[in-house]
Amino acid sequence: MRILLVEDDTHTAAFIAKGLREDGHAVDHASDGKQGLFLASTEPYDALVLDRMLPGLDGMTLLRTLRGAGNALPILLLTALGDTDHRVEGLRAGADDYLVKPFAFAELSARLDGIVKRNRSSGEREPTRLQSAGLELDLLAREARREGRRIELQPREFRLLEYLLRHAGQVVTRTMLLEAVWDYHFDPQTNVIDVHISRLRQKIDHGFDKPILHTVRGAGYRLGE
């Protein structure tokens, strides 16, 4: 993917750019808002990583200008403050996702994959069935099957599995799961998600030779072969 990074802090920018390049992406870096807006509106990118606080042209203005011009580029907004108001404001202005500094690179990478994939599939019809690695989810009947065998799930477990399946093959972080499946933005204090994942894992991997719900060290989880 070709990614534009607009970030004024050189250290953070270097850290992100290095990580993204290692993931195999091409990265362009702009250190102020004006240059960022120029690049974003003239070059074709797959995603934009945008800092909220920028010298010159501020991140929110850049975001609004791009969206106002009808640019549908997937945008991940970065901020130093995890204020709910800022998050809501950012999402309303048209950001696809929001990430609070400091973050682990894995978190940024996972969220970036998430918004790019969502953007690509947004044109398609909303599926009624999700399928991956022998696991099948009927979204209408709220039924889960693995290789034909039915799995009994609690409503929340179903949502958890649905989210994992929608992001099959990608790394999903704990925070992403908390936000998407429980829909609250908070500090969980403990690794409460791990307990839910291990319960879900018991249900979907029990009795099968190959586990499909993997823990990715230092990042989160991944569903797949």
Is the Cβ–Cβ distance between 122 and 102 less than 8 Å? no
Q: Which residues pair with 173 in a beta bridge?
A: 220
Alpha-carbon gap, residue 217 to 225, rounded angstroms: 17
Alpha-carbon gap, residue 46 to 31, rounded angstroms: 19
Phi, psi of 27 (to 5 degrees): -120, 130
Nearest-approach distance from CB 131 to other proteins, in angstroms:
27
Q: Which residues pair with 47 in a beta bridge?
A: 3
Taking the mean position of all CA atoms in its chain, how far away is CA 57? 26
For other proteins, the closer of residues 197 and 212 by Cβ is: 197
Nearest-approach distance from CB 225 to other proteins, in angstroms:
24
Stretch that binds other proteins, among 37-45, 69-77, 189-197, 202-210 (CB under 8 A): 189-197
Contact flags string 74-93 toward other proteins, x per CB under 8 A: ------xxxxx---------
Contact flags string 15-44 toward other proteins, x per CB under 8 A: x--x---x----------------------
Residue with tokens 């979907």: 204
Is the Cβ–Cβ distance between 97 and 115 less than 8 Å? yes
Q: Which two tokens stand for residue 133?
A: 């690695």
What count of Cα atoms within 13 Å lies in the side-chain half-sphere of residue 5? 24
Stretch that binds other proteins, among 24-32, 55-63, 122-130, 184-192 (CB under 8 A): 184-192
Stretch that binds other proteins, among 31-39, 114-122, 161-169, 177-185 (CB under 8 A): 177-185
Query: Where in 155-174 is the site for other proteins (CB under 8 A)?
Result: 156
List, in sequence order, the alpha helices (H) in the chain.
10-22, 33-42, 59-68, 84-92, 105-121, 155-166, 174-177, 192-205
Stretch that binds other proteins, among 58-66, 139-147, 164-172, 190-198 (CB under 8 A): 190-198
Residue in 42, 124, 126, 184 binding other proteins, rule: CB under 8 A: 184
Stretch that binds other proteins, among 37-45, 101-109, 127-135, 143-151 (CB under 8 A): 101-109
Q: Which residues bind other proteins (CB under 8 A)?
A: 11-12, 15, 18, 22, 80-84, 101-102, 104-105, 156, 182, 184-190, 192, 195-196, 199, 217-218
